[in-house]
Structure formats: structure tokens, C-alpha cells
Structure 1
Amino acid sequence: MSEKPSKYYVTTPIYYVNDKPHIGHSYTTILADVLANYHRLLDVPTHFLTGTDEHGQKVQQAADANGITPQEQCDQTVVRFQELWKRLEIKNDDFIRTTEPRHKKVVQETLQELFDRDEIYKAEYEGWYCVGCERFFTEKDLVEGNCPECGRPVDKIIESNYFFRMSKYQDWLIDYIESNPGFIQPAFRANETLGFLKNKELQDLCISRPKARLAWGIELPFDADFVTYVWFDALINYISAVGYKSDEEQFKKWWPCSTHLIGKDILTTHTVYWPTMLKAMNVAMPESIFAHGWWLTGRTKMSKSLGNVVNPMDMIDNYGVDAFRYFLIAEMTLGQDASFTEEAFVKRYNADLANDLGNVTNRVLNMISRYCGDKMPAPAKDAGFDTALDDALWKDTVAVAEEMGPMISNMKLDASVGLVMSAVRKINVYLQERAPWSLAKQEGSEAEVAHCLYTAAECLRVCAALLYPVMPAKMLELRTALGMADAKPHLGKLAEFGVLIPGSEISQPGALFPRIEAKKVDGASSSVAKEQKPAKKNQKSEIKNQKSADGLITFDQVMNVKLKTAVVLEAEKIEGADKLLKLQIDLGEEKRQLVAGIALHYAPEDLVGKTIVVVANLKPAKLRGVKSEGMLLCASIGDNLKLVTVEGDLGPGAAVK
């Protein structure tokens, strides 16, 4: 791993409590949790802050609509966030609510200090106000008369208010951003902010709301007729939570923040409002502000009004928390938008987790159980055999661990996860090349089989450690199955070969990631809350009742046949049957026995290790009294017969379409 920092302080935005959390909230919080987990495993002092934004007009309106007080609205809704974070295995160090006394006190002290230094003044204001964004805009800011940020209608308001002298910091902020290229990330977001600052005159920021219009907020300490503008209040949470104006030692320990994680829709508030506020307060700037993209449904932004919002609770219930976390991290390139469909989720789950990681785990543990009596084998100290493949696999795996540090520092989490999955696939390729099942049949090969399986297990241990921050529960389960008493990994010790203890008891965790059949994502089980168009009444029955003509079959008939890849583990002739072979195959989630009439074309030893294609949902039958659970596919012309196989290193259990 790369050189570790002295401390790591990461924040999410604090979330509005006017409604229940959705996938956008989940993604930012999971992202922060993964970053915090990586740093904790490096023994870096880490502080992870999240929380809720509980003041402002949207909260008051939600409370009015529900017939309760704003505080009751906050108290009822905040629980939804806290419960979801527990379900998502989020390990935040602090959860701040802006209605807490510790926060309100700091906001009021900060306001008073800025007012006393003439950084805040009172003036008459006329402008256009967006309730959704809780921001004022000038006439020229509007887009076709609507809010330039969210597109909603705006209201014209004339009133007295208090203003923060934000405009006087415009030139300073431009210079600061240009002099600190890592301050706003990705770089194109910094250019976006610079374009905003260079192409228009920065206005002073209205930081109050009259109680006559909005009573729900933190009262201004110097004027009891006003409350604080919600954004001025909310942004201060990043410092009030770590001891600003209350615990100087704690504040020095954590500030400046290492990474503010935000969605791109709140870029201006975090890269213009927040830095100028801190400058006026004489507080150091955060080290970086990282704006990620939006989750889309197809090409459309998720929106409650469109009815296409993904419910995180449904995804967890349907597929498990670790798989959900993995998909969000692996699917989005940080900074860019990403599309969420349940079809894409299932495709990545089956490919990465069921076929690759789950399959390699099953293969390694099953072979250790079979050939080493459920005990972790010992590596060879002075091998009397060629270890080139073993050494190359370990070298490649360690290289992945070393590359991940810079990737995480550069916020390339999707690429880092992809790198680990490539290492997982290399373990599978290695097993195919080394073929320990064939070695085990050779006299005097015990040491070589043990070394092969130990090497594969060690590489799997490293991959599990690197994926632990993303999928903590499943990777603890995997590492425990490898016989590790201290299942929680330490990322700084990954390059040591020989961590797994020979002779330790391994266990069989079953299918870590059971394959998801496509039918599970059809219809009512969908986790995307969108309006479904009713199907035409007779459409299904018409397709079903189509009669074949000239030997043609319907689409439904084709889709009823489930073809999957399988790896041949063992093969032997059936006594008294010249054409039949009995095969033991690995289908990823399970082992099966097949009987195939290919003995005149293939010797048993030629089949072991091959990846073949089988009909996986064929009703079991007996051939010559031997049970057969499926059928393999072959192609033939005359007497020339060849097995249907697949290219590349695709493991068992992959759907053939």
C-alpha cells in the first residue's frame, strides 16, 4: 500500500429529514464507509462523520403536511437514516443532528463573531426564492423563469435580511482553487466552479430568514426576529462535530477534513459558500471536496416525482447488504454518473460475486477438504518440483495490493475493485493450469498438491482482505472459512506469504453468493419503485399457445432451457459400458454427477479441468444404473465429435445465452 496519512477525517453531506433515504444517500454513505474502512485497516486514526440537516423550509413544510411539529418530523425521520445505516453495515464514528445543542451553540457563536467583525450586515433584499433548494436567485440566474439548479418554479420575495460579505472573497477563492489543484475533485468540477466565479460577479450571501415567513431554524443571536439560513447552519456541522469552539484539542486532531464527499448537485454550496465562510472565520480549508455523479435509471435521474427511485431496504432484503455495497462501489466511476437497473445489478453480481469470487472460494475450500482432510495444507519449503506458476500467482496478487493504495488515494474505487477481481480470476486460471485434481492421482505428489492449494488459499486471503472494506461481513466469513482466528485483516501486512497456519481447521461456508436467476428480478420483486404498464391481457397466452410449425420452437421454449458452464473435476469409465463416462462436475454453487456417451472420443484424464457447457435443468435420470443430473453439449459431424467449451477463464456456473 502507499504511504499512509497521519489521520483521515471523512464526511458525507448531512441529509434532509423531510423524507425517507434513497439510493443517493446510501451511495455517499457507503462510499465514506469504504474509505474509512481502508484507512482503519492501515491503522490510520480515522473519523467518519455523517448526520442529518434538520432545519429549513422543506422540513417545516413536511411537518405541516404530516400534521406534526418540525421537531417531531425530525425525530421520526432521522430514525429511518439511522436504521438504514445499521442495515448497510455503516460504521460512522459520529452522527450529528443540527437540532442538537452542541451544533446550535457553535452556529450562534460563529454568527455573533462574524457580525461583530462586520462580516455580516442587514439590508433590504428583492429576489427569486426556490423552496426546494432553499436559495435566492437573481432574475438573470433563472432558466425560463425557473430555478437554475432544480428547474422548479420560484417565488418573488422582498424583505429585510442579513447578509454575509461573500463577494469580497471572490478573487481570493479563484486564486486558492488555482493554487491547490487537489482542493476540488475531480478536476473538471474545479473548472466548473472556476467558470462560475470568473464569469459572474459573486453576490453577498443572504444568511437569514424572517421568522414571520420561516420559524424553524436557529435563531440569530443578534436579532430574535430571524433564523439562520439552512445552508449556513448546515455547513458548520463539519467543524461543530469535531470540537470547533468547544474542544480545541479535538478540533486540532481532526481538522482540516481529509475528504468532504458530496453529490454534484451541491457543488456550489460546498466550493463557494463553505470556503468563503471558513476564510472569514480564519479556519483552515478542507484538504479536498469530492463531488460524485448521480445515479440514473437508464438515462434519467432518479426522482421521487418520476417514481423511479431505488429503495435500498428492498435491495438489501432481496440480495443482501454486501452485494448491494459491492455493486454501488464497482459500478460508478467516481465523478461520473452511473446507471442503476436491477438487470445490471444481477449481471454484475452473477459475474463478479457468484461466478468469480464465489466459485474460486468453493473450489479452493472443496479441494482442501478433499485432498487435505479439512486442514490447511503446508507450503513446500524446499520444493522438488517447478513452482514457477505458484510464484507468479503470488507476485501478481501482491502487486494488486500495492497498486490499490494509490488508486484509493486517487478515488478510483471502481478500478481498485476491478483489480482485485482480476486477481480472483487469476486464481481460477492458476487452478486450471496446475490441476491439483490430476496431481492428486500421481504417486508421491502430496507435497505439490499441498503447495498448490496453500498458494491459492493465501492469494484468496489477500483478495478477501482487499475486499473487506467493501463487503465486511462476507469477507469475514470467507477468512474465517480459511481457518483464520484473527479474521479481521490488516492491509499493511498483506505481502507476507505464510500467514495461513498449516494444520488449522477450514470450514465450508456454503455458497457465499448464490447465483441469482433472471426470473427473480421480474415483476413484483423489482426494487425500483416505478409504475409498471399493465401487460396486454392475451399477450402471454398467445405466445404460450403458439403451435410449432416445421420444427420451429417458441422463444419461451428456448428460455426454459438453462445452459451453464461447468468444470470437470473427475472422470472415469462406467464398467460394462464402452461409450459412457461418469463425470463429477463443479457448477459453481454445487457439485453434480453426469453420465455422458463420449468415451469413444475422450479419455477420462483428458476431461479433468475442462470448462464445458451443460443443460443444468434437465430432469435427473439413470443410465446403466448410474444417476445423471444434466447433459453436456457436443458438436459432431459423422464420427468426429467435440465438446462445446467456452473461451477465456470463465469459471463454472456462468449462464450460457
Structure 2
Amino acid sequence: LFEDNEDWKDYWMNDHSDVFYSIGKDNTIFHTVIWPSMLKGASTDEIEYEMPRYEFIQQYLLAEDTQFSKSRGTGLSTSDALDKYPADYWRFYLARNIPEDHDTKFSWDDFEAEINNVLNDTVGNFINRTLSLAEQWFENEVPVGELTEADEQALEEAEKTIDNYVEAFENHDLKEGLSHAIELARIGDRYLSEEEPWNNEDRREETIHVSVQIIRALGATLYPFTPETTEKIEDMLNAEIHTSEGVDALVDPLLGGLEPGHELGKREILFEKIDTSDQQGEDEMEHEFNEDTISFDDFQNMDIRTGEVEEVEEHPNADKLYKVKVNVGKTTLQTCAGLKNFYEKEELEGKKVVVLANLEPTELRGEKSECMMLAAE
């Protein structure tokens, strides 16, 4: 992969880079203990790998009561999600619902509410209202205006929100950062509604001038979360407003960057309201059929047999797993089965089950698992 490309060294072998990991809670030990130890062990006097500066350890995003899992076919696959709605919709929703300190359930109703009420009605509505008025009143140019106390107050409030946004990123709090970006849209929309330039012709220049500056800041702060939307805002403002140089470069400056007389670009509708009722009627938890095949010889090597559950215990290190002992004839095998959400222990004891009996033994959360129970909803 890197045979003719050494760009990766700018990240992994550069003492000026800061390395951040975002991992699931089930990978905590590997990525906080084992992997850093491997990096240390692979480093020499000439080559030193950068250690992680900070690790975002996330809880689970759940499909109903089950963890999203590609291998188990639970949840919504990335390809299916993108077939249904644009990537920025998903980025926005997932950033708003990062499972930071507790498992979070995915819900189509919540997804619809975030997109319609926040992304469309708050962010999109403010941008569209402002630019349509600039188009209507000022031939699609940024107007001149002598700022009043109300205008300065709106810009000051926006500046404080940008400072809070930057602080959230410095504290590695992405969810909080997005909240401050959304607050910029609320500040602008509230300011526009209070000034009522459609009813006060004398205030039109100043109000649209200030609102356009806030849109520029809004587009920049949204960039880490909805990059495609920011690129559209850039086109509509006819100005580059984002940077890939890091969060510090977002404040140079965000407010006041569009001078009077600046020609704006072509306005477009950024978002559309969605109706997820049809999605809720589908079995969205069904993933694509695996078209890969195995040979008949491989199939013959699988020792699939009927067994009887002899004993069921709570798994000491996992909330959704049981330790299950299954009598498969001449021996008893132990497996760690994710059946806790579906059966009480007493319901499983004595049950006839189908198991793959010659699976290579492994450990699941510190407990031995020697076979696999085959089950389906």
C-alpha cells in the first residue's frame, strides 16, 4: 500500500504531529496498552513512531438493543445508509449523537427530527433566507452598512460562540463543537427575525451585511461535520471559507471577511426535509447477502452437530453474553453466546441447540469460547 507513497510518515513519524485515536470501548485494552507498546518496541534511535496523544473511547451505537455489527448483520450498513440519504445528513446526526458516556440507540424518528428540525429548519433556513434577500435587494452583492449597536451585539455574540467552538475542539469534545456551530445559525436567525428588514427598509443593508458574515463563520465551523455542505456554502458566498490546516486556522477571521460589494454566488437549497416512515416499515437491520462461497471440502470440514445446553452463567465481563456449556456427545464445550437480550438463563438450560463444534478456541472478554451456537431471530 505504501510502496511508492511515504506521506504516512508525516503522521506516524513526525514529532510535530499529534495522533488521536477514536475507538470503541471493546478495543480499549488493545489500543491503550498493547498497540502503544508495539509502537515503542518498533521504534529505534533512527525511527520513532508517534504515540497517541489522546484516545476517544466511545460507547456503542445500538440498533434497537443490539450493537451495530457488520459481521453479525445487525444495524444499518454504510452502503445502505448512503443509498437512503446524503452523507452529510449521517455525519451531522452521528456527530450530534456520539455515544460518549453511555450506549445510544439509533432511531429513525430521532434521525428525522435532527435533519428536519435542526439541519434544515435552523441551519438551512437561516442561510436561504439571508441569501435570497441579498439576491432580491442588493443584486446578489454584500451590501454596505454602518453598523449599529444591535449589529455589533450580534457579531460579538457570534464571536464568543466561535471561541467556545474552538475551545470545544481543543478539549476534544466534537459533540459540543457541533452544538456551538448550530448556535451560530440560531444567533443569525434570531438576529434576522428581530431586525425584520422586510418591514424596515432603513435596516436592510446592515442586517444582510451582518447575516452574511455569520453565514461565512457558520460554513467554516460546520466543515469538520458536513464538508459537502460547507463546499456548497463556499460556492454560494463565492469565497473560500474553510481550511484543512487545523482548528486554529478557522478564526482568521471568520467574521468581517466578506467586504461590501463582494459578489455572491448562485444560491441553492442545501437540505430537504425527510420522511423516514417508509424506512421504519422495512427491515433495516437486514444487511446485504454475502455472495462469497466456500468449497464443498471446506463445508465437509465443519463439524456441525446437535447438542444440549447443560449450564448457563452470566459472563463476568460482558453485559450481553452468557457463558454456555453444551454437551455435544463425548465432550462438553463452552461458548460465549450473545443471547442475553433474547433468553433468560432458565429458558436455555436443557435446550437442544445446533453448534459448530470444531471452531478454533478463542477468548471473548477473558472467557474461553470453544464452539459457536447457531441461532437466528
| SS of alignment partner, residue 264 of structure 2 | coil
Is the aligned partner of 1:329 residue 2:87?
Answer: no
Query: CA 1:367–1:406 in structure 2 vs 1: closer, same or farther (change >3 Å)?
Result: same
How much has 1:329 moved relative to structure 2?
1.2
**Hey, what does 2:236 align to over in structure 1?**
481
Query: Which residue identity is paired with 1:512?
Result: L
Summarize the alignment of residues 49-448 of structure 1 with structure 2, pairs less than 5 Å apart.
Answer: 242-243=8-9, 252-254=13-15, 258-281=19-42, 285-304=51-70, 307-380=73-146, 387-440=148-201, 445=202, 448=203
Q: Which amino acid aligns with 1:460?
A: I
Q: Is the 8 A contact 2:11 2:19 kept in 1?
A: no
Counterparts in 2 of 1:102 and 1:348: CA distance versus 1, 3 Å: same
State the SS of the aligned residue for 2:94: helix
Secondary structure (helix, strand or coil) at the match of 2:192 reads helix
RMSD: 3.0
Shift of 1:389: 2.1
> Is residue 293–residue 335 contact of structure 1 (8 Å, CA) maintained in 2?
yes
- Structure 1 Cα separation of the partners of residues 26 and 173 of structure 2: 21
Aligned counterparts of 1:354 and 1:403: Cα–Cα separation in 2: 23
Whether the 8 Å contact between 1:294 and 1:338 is mirrored in structure 2 is yes
The one of 263, 274, 278 equivalent to 1:505 is 263
Q: Does 1:529 align with 2:295?
A: no
TM-score by length of 1: 0.39
CA distance in 1, matches of 2:93, 2:250: 22
1:469 aligns with 2:224: yes
1:377 and 1:451 in contact (8 A); partners too: yes
* 1:238-283 CA-partner distances (Å, limit 9, x unpaired): xx9845xxxxx98652577521222211111122212333444565
User: Are residues 350 and 367 of structure 1, via their aligned partners in 2, closer, same or farther at CA, if it must alter by over 3 Å?
Assistant: same
- Contact 1:242/1:250 (<8 A) preserved: yes
| 2:328 equivalent in structure 1 | none
1:393 aligned partner, one-letter code: A
- Match for 2:76: what amino acid? V
CA 1:505–1:250 in structure 2 vs 1: closer, same or farther (change >3 Å)? closer
Q: Within 5 Å, which residues of 2 pair with 1:564-575?
A: none
Which residue number corresponds to residue 210 of structure 2?
Answer: 455
Q: Percent identity?
A: 23
Q: Mind listing any 5+ residue stretches in structure 1 that lack a counterpart?
A: 1-95, 104-239, 244-248, 532-657
Task: Say whether the 8 Å CA contact 2:161–2:183 is kept in structure 1.
Answer: no
Distance change (3 Å), C-alpha of 1:263 and 1:480: same
What is the distance in 1 between the residues matched to 2:198 and 2:277? 35
Q: Aligned residues, how many?
A: 278
Of structures 1 and 2, the larger Rg is shown by 1
CA deviation vs aligned residue, 1:208-261 (integer Å, no higher than 9, x gap): xxxxxxxxxxxxxxxxxxxxxxxxxxxxxxxx9845xxxxx9865257752122
Residue 491 of structure 1 is matched in structure 2 by: 250
Return 5+ residue gaps in structure 2 as ranges: 244-248, 289-377
* CA distance in 1 between partners of 2:166 and 2:133 (Å): 32
1:464-508 CA-to-partner distances (Å, cap 9, x unmatched) read 110012111211211321232x354551313542x1132233345
Secondary structure at the aligned position of 2:156 is classed as helix
3-state SS of paired residue (2:262):
coil
Counterpart residue type for residue 268 of structure 2: G
Moved more, 370-379 or 468-477: 370-379
Question: Does the 8 Å contact 1:356/1:424 carry over to 2?
Answer: yes
What CA distance in whole angstroms lies between the structure 1 residues aligned with 2:3 and 2:233? 44
**Contact 2:161 / 2:180 at 8 angstroms: preserved in 1?**
yes
